[in-house]
Structure 1
């Protein structure tokens, strides 16, 4: 995903330079087009790997909550369809990892505690990503509009003013090309949904009559919301991991 965004930004920069400076004017449009195509292909590849990772995560959640065994056939199929470096990641870290803090044995209560913990993490990670995207979007749009209005009032050079207007238009187009508004809404909606799942899990934990089917239904609801949500990047998880772990163990762990 980062490479896809990088290609789109590179295309924007090349297009901007082509407007301001006579740099390869005959090839600039073709280069921008090529970068746009590469960005879409990389984004499609990223979505494919995200779907594989979500499938593995669902299986691991079921294994940790209910003891559902993941067959070697399932693991082998996932690994073949995944990037070449995932083999080491899965075998050495993920399958052996104690991912959740619950001390319960396999069953309904452990499943609900896992869902509550995971949804709580997702809620805060999504909130942070929403804030990042919202800040970046507001800055891009705000600066572009200020530059455009200032140039209209102060710049007398018609050619320069026209070039500046095209650049500002390109910046605003870039906002939509990078799906910034869509990402803000996506992270916001997932954060709200994760909060609802968290509360539902807490309510079921307080209900002594909660059944395994209740836990499975809530788990599927959470997994569905996570599958349609924007990607939560690994760097953000690593940056917030210590803080969230300490907070959960201190205030929320049963």
Structure 2
């Protein structure tokens, strides 16, 4: 009963569920960013223009909703990363997904993802040609880490530029707000609160910039270590599992990468990877 291996006729499309989980996480994350953008624009309007007494409360509400969506996005991403690790293990080490794992997925999966499947993990994700086993696992880690490094580095630069603009604008707002009102007036208090709220939200986004750069650095180390192991020729399962596990843990802790970035860079990275592998 407990952990029998499922047949390829499983009625659960694991890949579809995993894709839906990542899409849900990205939608929540993107909505959170949009709300942060609205909060920033509202802060600029309040700090440099006319104000109303309830404006700071609107900003606080936007900030709370944005942070709540970020938390929900992180939870959905955690679930998605867990399923992706299961799929990676199936593809690379050749270990089928158990019935117990599939039952857990049935409980967690949204209704619209419970579709008739052609198999539990039949789709090809990596380009490596080695049979399932330690070497295939290392090839998968190498390819994933190489792609993730370049995507994380690009996202870190975009995010750093965006956050830099917002932080500088917030500081300018904070410095300029008193000039537009009397220091003792209620408007001055509203403008100062708006500027501080905008600054605090923008400073909170800096941690993502650091996380993207840190992940790019971690991926670079993973690429070098897996290349050294693959060059040896005879890869042990212990070495492969250690590299795979360390990389999976690092990837689980990184922020999401937006779909538009992957769409924009996919072709160029694919060409570079094929040229690198030749």
The equivalent of 1:181 in structure 2 is 206
Partners of 1:95 and 1:208 lie apart in 2 by 27
1:61 aligns with 2:88: yes
- Bigger shift: 78-87 or 195-204? 78-87
1:8 aligns with 2:49: no
**Does the Cα contact within 8 Å between 1:137 and 1:180 map onto a contact in 2?**
yes
Q: 1:130 to 1:144 in 2, by over 3 A?
A: same
1:208 aligns with 2:218: no
**Does the Cα contact within 8 Å between 1:49 and 1:82 map onto a contact in 2?**
no
Q: CA deviation at 1:137?
A: 1.9
Task: Trace 1:138-217 onto structure 2 (pairs within 5 A).
Answer: 138-145=164-171, 151=176, 158-159=181-182, 168-176=195-203, 179-217=204-242
The equivalent of 2:256 in structure 1 is 231
Partners of 1:184 and 1:217 lie apart in 2 by 27
Partners of 1:213 and 1:78 lie apart in 2 by 28
The equivalent of 1:37 in structure 2 is 64
**Does the Cα contact within 8 Å between 2:160 and 2:209 map onto a contact in 1?**
yes
**Does the Cα contact within 8 Å between 2:174 and 2:196 map onto a contact in 1?**
no
1:100 match: secondary structure: coil
Post-superposition CA distance 1:62-97 (Å, at most 9, x none):
111111101244234235324555446x95899342
Q: CA deviation at 1:42?
A: 1.5
User: May I ask how many residue pairs the two structures share in their alignment?
Assistant: 245
Task: Trace 1:83-94 onto structure 2 (pairs within 5 A).
Answer: 83-87=110-114, 91=117
The equivalent of 1:21 in structure 2 is 50
Q: 1:22 to 1:135 in 2, by over 3 A?
A: closer
1:243 aligns with 2:268: yes
Q: CA deviation at 1:245?
A: 1.5
**Does the Cα contact within 8 Å between 2:59 and 2:194 map onto a contact in 1?**
no
Partners of 2:179 and 2:240 lie apart in 1 by 67
Partners of 2:113 and 2:266 lie apart in 1 by 21
Partners of 1:168 and 1:33 lie apart in 2 by 12
What RMSD over aligned residues (CA atoms) do the two structures have, in Å? 3.0
What are structure 1's unaligned runs of at least 5 residues?
A: none
1:120 aligns with 2:146: yes
The equivalent of 1:98 in structure 2 is 124
Partners of 1:93 and 1:134 lie apart in 2 by 41
Higher relative contact order (CA 8 A, sep 6+): 2
